[in-house]
Amino acid sequence: MKFVLLLFNIQKNKNFGNLIRTANVFGVEEVCVVGRKGFSTHGNQNTKLDTQFRHFYKMHEAFDFYAKLNYEFIGVEIGESFRSINTHVFSRDSVFILGNETSGIQAEIIAQCDYCVYIPQFGSGASLNVNVACGIVLNAFVANKGQHNKIVDAKFVAP
């Protein structure tokens, strides 16, 4: 299965770089940025060079494009009616939508998703950093993928 990371209204430049690095590590098909075209990639540890990017100015353009490719749209958000990442099993190529660090994903975007997943939390914090949440969700997506990159001297080496 393939996946795309769709970033909408991410404000902090450092988060962009970290999200690119996280998506790359888990084998992203591409990172899609909706809205602003220019962004810093500080913190990506040169993974930007090996990561495909796509840009749309409007969210409906992204939905139209990936729907034609038969991707499933999954919002990563907190909500009582959403699915726990701890019990959900992914079965299709997926677009994971991550939203603003403060306000999350807008209701009209959630309404267009096939479903949303949340990460159960047990401490006093209200939410996770967007990059941390991304890593947890993408790890769940690739959990049954099989063979990972080779480990050499305490680092992963891509083929």
Specify the number of domains making up the chain. 1
Query: Could you write out the DSSP letters of every residue in the chain?
Result: --EEEEEES---HHHHHHHHHHHHHTT-SEEEEES-S----TT-TTGGGG--EEEESSHHHHHHHHHHTTPEEEEE---TTSEETTT----S-EEEEE-BTTTBS-HHHHTTSSEEEE----SS-S---HHHHHHHHHHHHHTT----PEEETTEEE--
The residue-averaged pLDDT of 52-70 equals 95
Does the reported pTM lie above 0.85? yes
Residue 92 has pLDDT above 60, yes or no: yes
* Count of residues making up the chain: 159
**CATH code: domain of residue 79:** 3.40.1280.10
pLDDT digits (tens, 9 = 90+) for 107-150: 999 999 999 999 999 999 888 999 999 999 999 999 877 778 77
State the residue range of the domain holding 28: 3-157
